[in-house]
Amino acid sequence: MTITSTDSQSSRSALSAQKINELAFRNDDRRLDMALSILSYVAGAVALLVVIKLF
Residues forming contacts to other proteins in the complex (CB under 8 A) are 2-8, 10-21, 23-25, 27-31, 33, 36-37, 39-41, 43-44, 46-47, 50-51, 54-55
Kindly state the smallest distance separating residue 15's Cβ from other proteins, in Å: 7
Query: Cα(54)–Cα(33) distance, rounded to whole angstroms?
Result: 31
Reading phi first (left if > 0) and then psi (alpha if -120 to 50, else beta), residue 2 is in beta
Nearest approach in angstroms of CB 26 to other proteins is 9
Least gap, CB of 32 to other proteins (angstroms): 9
Q: What 3-state DSSP class applies to 17?
A: helix
